[in-house]
Structure 1
Amino acid sequence: MARAIWLVLDSLGIGGATDAADYGDAGADTFGHIADACAQHARGRLRIPNLTRLGLPQAHGLATGRAAAGFEEMPAAQALWGCMDERACGKDTPSGHWESAGVTLHEPFGLFAAVENSFPDALLAALVEQAGLPGVLGNCHASGTEIIARLGIEHIASGKPIVYTSADSVLQLAAHEEAFGLERLYEVCRIARVLLAPYNIGRVIARPFVGEGSDDFRRTGNRHDYALPPPRPTLLDAVCAHGGRVHAVGKISDIFAAQGVSRTLLASGHDALFDATLAAMEQAGEGDLVATNFVDFDSVYGHRRDALGYAAALEHFDARLPQLLAALRPGDLLVLSADHGCDPSWAGSDHTRERVPLLAFGPGFAPRALGRRDSFADLGQGLATHLGLPPLAEGHCFLTS
Structure 2
Amino acid sequence: MARAILIVLDSVGCGGAEDAAAYGDTGADTLGHIAEACAEGRGDRDGLRSGPLHIPNLARLGLSHACEASTGKPLAGVTRSDAPQGQYGYGVEISQGKDTPSGHWEIAGCPVPFKWGYFTALESSFPSDLVAAIIREGALPGILGNKHASGTAVIDKLAEEHIRTGKPICYTSVDSVLQIAAHEEHFGLERLYDLCKKARVLVDPLRIGRVIARPFVGTAETGFTRTGNRKDFSIPPPDETILDRLAAKGRPIVTVGKIGDIFAHRNTGEEIKPFGNAAMWAAALEAFARLPDGGFCFVNLVDFDTEYGHRRDIPGYAAALEAFDRDLPKLEALLRPGDLAVITADHGNDPSWPGTDHTREHVPILGFGPAVPAREIGRRASFADIAATLSEWLGVGTVGPGRPW
Place the TM-score, normalised by the shorter chain, in its bin.
over 0.9
CA-CA distance at 1:393 after TM superposition:
3.0
Aligned: 1:30 with 2:37? no
CA-CA distance at 1:375 after TM superposition:
0.3
How many angstroms apart in 2 are the aligned matches of 1:149 and 1:110? 28
How many angstroms apart in 2 are the aligned matches of 1:214 and 1:287? 52
- Give the secondary structure class of the aligned counterpart of 1:232: coil
Aligned: 1:112 with 2:128? no
- Give the secondary structure class of the aligned counterpart of 2:22: helix
- Give the secondary structure class of the aligned counterpart of 2:146: strand
CA-CA distance at 1:164 after TM superposition:
0.1
Which of 218, 223, 239 is the aligned partner of 1:211?
218
CA-CA distance at 1:246 after TM superposition:
1.6
Aligned twin of 1:169: 176
CA-CA distance at 1:75 after TM superposition:
3.1
Letter in 2 for 1:17: A
The 10-residue stretch of structure 1 (310-319 or 209-218) with the greater mean CA deviation from structure 2: 209-218
Is the 8 Å Cα contact of residues 180 and 214 (structure 2) preserved in structure 1? yes
Structure 1 residues not aligned, in runs of 5+: none
Letter in 2 for 1:233: E
Aligned twin of 2:96: 89
CA-CA distance at 1:215 after TM superposition:
6.1
RMSD: 1.1
CA-CA distance at 1:68 after TM superposition:
2.0
Aligned: 1:342 with 2:343? no
How many angstroms apart in 1 are the aligned matches of 2:127 and 2:34? 38
Structure 2 residues not aligned, in runs of 5+: 45-49
Q: Kindly provide the CA deviation profile for residues 135-165 of structure 1, in whole angstroms up to 9, marking residues without a partner as x.
A: 1000000000000000011101111000000
How many angstroms apart in 1 are the aligned matches of 2:222 and 2:84? 45
Letter in 2 for 1:336: I
- Give the secondary structure class of the aligned counterpart of 2:293: coil
Give the percent of matched residue pairs that are identical in Structure 1 and Structure 2. Answer: 55
Letter in 2 for 1:79: G
Question: Residues 314 and 192 from structure 1, CA distance in 2 versus in 1: closer, same or farther, beyond 3 angstroms?
Answer: same
- Give the secondary structure class of the aligned counterpart of 1:66: coil
TM-score of the two chains, using structure 1 as the length reference: 0.98
CA-CA distance at 1:18 after TM superposition:
1.3
TM-score of the two chains, using structure 2 as the length reference: 0.97
CA-CA distance at 1:74 after TM superposition:
3.3
CA-CA distance at 1:73 after TM superposition:
4.1
Is the 8 Å Cα contact of residues 149 and 214 (structure 1) preserved in structure 2? no
Aligned: 1:235 with 2:228? no
Question: Residues 340 and 279 from structure 1, CA distance in 2 versus in 1: closer, same or farther, beyond 3 angstroms?
Answer: same
Aligned: 1:323 with 2:337? no
Q: Kindly provide the CA deviation profile for residues 200-239 of structure 1, in whole angstroms up to 9, marking residues without a partner as x.
A: 0000000011111276211111000001100011010001
Aligned: 1:375 with 2:372? no
CA-CA distance at 1:242 after TM superposition:
0.9
Aligned twin of 1:246: 253
What does 1:2-401 align with in structure 2 at a 5 Å threshold? 2-41=2-41, 43-71=50-78, 73-213=80-220, 216-398=223-405
Is the 8 Å Cα contact of residues 12 and 342 (structure 1) preserved in structure 2? yes
Is the 8 Å Cα contact of residues 148 and 214 (structure 1) preserved in structure 2? no
Letter in 2 for 1:249: V
Is the 8 Å Cα contact of residues 339 and 369 (structure 2) preserved in structure 1? yes
- Give the secondary structure class of the aligned counterpart of 2:136: helix
Q: Kindly provide the CA deviation profile for residues 290-346 of structure 1, in whole angstroms up to 9, marking residues without a partner as x.
A: 001000000000000001100000001111111111111121100000000000011
Is the 8 Å Cα contact of residues 12 and 339 (structure 1) preserved in structure 2? yes
How many angstroms apart in 2 are the aligned matches of 1:373 and 1:286? 28
Is the 8 Å Cα contact of residues 54 and 78 (structure 2) preserved in structure 1? no
How many angstroms apart in 1 are the aligned matches of 2:79 and 2:108? 33
How many angstroms apart in 1 are the aligned matches of 2:80 and 2:259? 35
Letter in 1 for 2:396: L
How many angstroms apart in 2 are the aligned matches of 1:331 and 1:72? 29
Is the 8 Å Cα contact of residues 150 and 214 (structure 1) preserved in structure 2? no
How many angstroms apart in 1 are the aligned matches of 2:82 and 2:253? 35
- Give the secondary structure class of the aligned counterpart of 1:211: strand
Q: Kindly provide the CA deviation profile for residues 113-136 of structure 1, in whole angstroms up to 9, marking residues without a partner as x.
A: 000000011111111111111110
Letter in 2 for 1:388: G
- Give the secondary structure class of the aligned counterpart of 1:34: helix
Letter in 1 for 2:171: Y
CA-CA distance at 1:106 after TM superposition:
2.2
Letter in 1 for 2:142: G
CA-CA distance at 1:173 after TM superposition:
0.3
How many angstroms apart in 2 are the aligned matches of 1:168 and 1:132? 27
- Give the secondary structure class of the aligned counterpart of 2:88: strand
- Give the secondary structure class of the aligned counterpart of 2:147: strand
How many angstroms apart in 1 are the aligned matches of 2:322 and 2:398? 36
The 10-residue stretch of structure 1 (253-262 or 210-219) with the greater mean CA deviation from structure 2: 210-219
Is the 8 Å Cα contact of residues 259 and 298 (structure 2) preserved in structure 1? yes
CA-CA distance at 1:275 after TM superposition:
1.2
Letter in 2 for 1:195: L
